C-alpha cells in the first residue's frame, strides 16, 4: 500500500503536536528504549488501531537515529521505564534522536490506521511518501542547523515496524523534501486563513473582538498587513519573532530560555515531596496541572505559583526589549504556545497594561488553540505555494 502525507510537525519540549494527513495528533514528547514487547499473547488488531497513538510501540531502523524498539508518547510516559525527553535549555533539537524517532513512529502509526480504515484488515507493509515542514527554536535556527535537521529526515528510507499485540506492520517512510523553519513564524499563515484557505474567524478572536470593540464580522484578513510581535511560550523556550504581513523580519530574531518547563522543574522536587514520591517526570507534573479533576491538582498549583511568577517577569522583560528594538512600531502582541495557558492569569494583565500604554492590541490566544497554533501553521505552510516553490527549486537537477 502506498500513501502520500502532508505533515506539519511541532516537536515541542513537552508535547508533540503533529497534523498528519489533516488529522491532529497530540502526545507527550517522550520515548523509552525497551528490549521486548509488553504483550505475550495474540490480541485483536481492532483493540489497538483506534487508539494506536496511546499504546504505540515501534521498532525503528533509520540512518538518522539509534536503532531499537521504543515505547512512544503516552505509552512511554505510563510505562514506568526510564524516559528520554528533551532537556530544556540544553539539547539542540537538530542533533537529538528523540524528534526523529517520535516523528517516524507517529507517521507510521497514522499510515497503519489509514490502511486499516480503508481495507478493514492490517496490511503486511506500507510505503509512505511525506512532505513535511517542522521547526527549530528561533535561538537554535540557523541555515546550518536547519539544513542538518532537514537532511536527517531526507536521508532515508526509514523503516518502522509498528507492533499491534503480536502482529506487526512494516512501514517504509521517505521524505523527498523537508523544510525546517524558525518556530512561531508559520503562525502568521494560520492566524489569517483556516485549513480550507478561507479567512479565519470564530472563538479564537472572540475576546480580542470584545476587548477592542471591533466589527462582529471580524476575521483573519485583519492581520494580513499588521506588524505582530509573537510571544510563543513553550516548555523550554519562548520565541519573540516579529512579522509583518506574511514576512518574517530577520533583524528582530530573539528567543529566551524561559517557559513553563523551567517553573515545573523548579517546583518538581517540592511537588514530589507533597505527594510522597521519590521522583516523577516533568510530563507527569504537566499532566496534573492541566487536569483540574486530578487528586493532586491543588498541590501542583500551589507549588508552581512562585516559580511561574518568576518566569512571567522574565518574559515581560524580553517583550519590552523587543518593543524597544522595534521602536514600539507593533500593531498586535500575539501570545500562544502551551506555556501561555499556565501563565495566563499572571501574564495577561502585565501585557495588557503594556499594550495600553504603548498603543497596541493584545491577542492572547484561547487555551484550546494555543497549543495547536504552531502545528496548524506548519500544516498550512506545507500545503501552500511557498513550500511547493521551495521544493521544486530544491529538487531541480543541477
My answer on whether 339 and 199 are in the same domain is yes
My answer on whether 249 and 331 are in the same domain is yes
My answer on whether 129 and 166 are in the same domain is yes
My answer on whether 171 and 199 are in the same domain is no
My answer on whether 158 and 239 are in the same domain is no
- Cβ atoms 196, 379 nearer than 8 A: no
My answer on whether 191 and 288 are in the same domain is yes
- In sequence order, the 6+-apart residues with CB closer than 8 A to the CB of 257 are 88, 89, 139, 236, 237
296 located within any domain: yes
Least confident piece of the model among 149-158, 232-241, 304-313: 232-241
pLDDT tens track for 221-233: 999 999 999 999 9
Tell me which residue range forms the domain holding 168.
2-181
Per-residue confidence (pLDDT) for residue 398, from 0 to 100: 67
Per-residue confidence (pLDDT) for residue 48, from 0 to 100: 85
My answer on whether 198 and 76 are in the same domain is no
Residue 171 CB: number of other CB atoms within 10 A?
A: 27
My answer on whether 260 and 347 are in the same domain is yes
My answer on whether 83 and 199 are in the same domain is no
My answer on whether 168 and 215 are in the same domain is no
Q: How far apart are CA 17 and CA 24, in angstroms?
A: 7
383 located within any domain: no
145 located within any domain: yes
Q: What is the mean pLDDT of the chain?
A: 91
Q: How far apart are CA 260 and CA 236, in angstroms?
A: 7
386 located within any domain: no
Which element (helix H / strand E) includes 132? strand 125-136
- Cβ atoms 205, 282 nearer than 8 A: no
Whichever domain contains 8, its CATH number is 3.30.420.40
398 located within any domain: no
Per-residue confidence (pLDDT) for residue 101, from 0 to 100: 96
Domain count, the chain: 2
pLDDT tens track for 154-165: 997 999 999 998
Predicted structure pTM score = 0.87
394 located within any domain: no
- The full length of the chain comes to 398
pLDDT tens track for 113-123: 999 999 988 99
How many percent of the chain have pLDDT more than 90? 61
With a cut of 70, say whether residue 340 has pLDDT above it: yes
My answer on whether 204 and 323 are in the same domain is yes
User: 161, 181, 201 — which closes off a domain?
Assistant: 181
Per-residue confidence (pLDDT) for residue 90, from 0 to 100: 59
Average the pLDDT over 287-312 and give the result. Answer: 91
Average the pLDDT over 97-104 and give the result. Answer: 96
Per-residue confidence (pLDDT) for residue 316, from 0 to 100: 97
Q: How far apart are CA 199 and CA 222, in angstroms?
A: 9
Per-residue confidence (pLDDT) for residue 88, from 0 to 100: 58
391 located within any domain: no
388 located within any domain: no
With a cut of 80, say whether residue 40 has pLDDT above it: no
My answer on whether 158 and 259 are in the same domain is no
Amino acid at each position: 500500500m502506498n500513501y502520500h502525507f502532508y505533515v506539519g510537525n511541532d516537536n515541542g519540549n513537552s508535547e508533540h503536536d503533529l497534523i498528519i494527513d489533516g488529522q491532529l495528533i497530540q502526545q507527550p514528547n517522550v520515548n523509552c528504549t525497551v528490549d521486548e514487547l509488553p504483550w505475550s499473547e495474540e490480541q485483536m488488531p481492532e483493540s489497538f488501531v483506534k487508539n494506536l497513538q496511546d499504546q504505540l510501540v515501534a521498532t525503528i531502523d533509520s540512518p538518522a537515529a539509534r536503532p531499537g524498539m521504543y515505547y512512544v508518547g503516552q505509552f512511554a510516559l505510563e510505562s514506568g521505564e526510564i524516559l528520554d525527553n528533551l532537556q530544556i535549555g540544553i539539547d539542540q533539537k537538530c542533533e537529538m534522536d528523540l524528534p526523529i524517532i517520535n516523528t517516524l513512529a507517529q507517521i507510521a502509526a497514522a499510515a497503519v490506521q489509514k490502511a486499516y480504515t480503508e481495507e478493514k484488515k492490517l496490511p503486511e507493509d506500507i510505503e509512505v511518501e511525506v512532505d513535511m515542514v517542522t521547526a527549530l527554536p528561533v535561538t537554535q535556527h540557523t541555515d546550518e542547523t536547519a539544513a542538518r535537521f532537514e537532511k536527517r529526515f531526507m536521508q532515508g528510507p526509514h523503516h518502522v515496524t509498528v507492533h499491534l499485540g503480536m502482529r506487526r506492520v512494516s512501514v517504509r517512510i521517505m521524505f523527498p523534501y523537508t523544510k525546517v523553519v524558525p518556530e512561531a513564524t508559520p503562525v502568521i499563515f494560520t492566524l489569517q486563513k483556516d485549513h480550507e484557505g478561507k479567512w479565519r474567524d470564530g472563538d479564537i478572536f472572540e475576546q480580542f473582538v470584545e476587548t477592542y470593540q471591533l466589527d462582529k464580522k471580524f476575521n483573519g484578513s485583519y492581520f494580513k498587513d499588521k506588524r505582530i510581535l509573537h510571544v510563543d511560550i513553550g516548555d523550554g523556550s519562548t520565541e519573540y519573532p516579529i512579522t509583518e504581513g506574511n514576512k518574517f523580519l530577520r533583524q528582530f530574531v530573539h528567543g529566551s530560555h524561559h517557559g513553563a518547563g523551567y517553573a515545573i522543574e523548579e517546583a518538581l522536587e517540592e511537588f514530589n515531596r507533597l505527594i510522597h514520591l521519590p521522583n516523577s517526570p516533568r510530563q507527569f507534573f504537566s499532566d496534573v496541572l492541566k487536569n483540574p479533576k486530578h487528586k493532586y491538582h491543588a498541590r501542583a498549583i500551589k507549588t508552581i505559583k512562585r516559580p511561574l511568577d518568576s518566569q512571567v517577569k522574565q518574559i515581560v522583560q524580553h517583550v519590552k526589549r523587543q518593543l524597544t528594538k522595534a521602536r514600539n512600531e507593533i500593531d498586535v502582541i500575539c501570545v500562544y504556545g502551551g506555556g501561555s495557558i499556565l501563565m495566563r492569569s499572571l501574564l495577561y494583565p502585565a501585557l495588557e497594561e503594556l499594550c495600553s500604554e504603548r498603543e497596541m492590541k493584545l491577542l492572547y490566544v484561547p487555551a484550546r488553540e494555543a497549543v495547536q497554533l504552531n502545528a496548524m501553521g506548519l500544516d498550512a505552510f506545507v500545503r501552500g505555494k511557498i513550500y511547493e516553490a521551495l521544493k521544486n527549486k530544491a529538487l531541480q537537477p543541477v
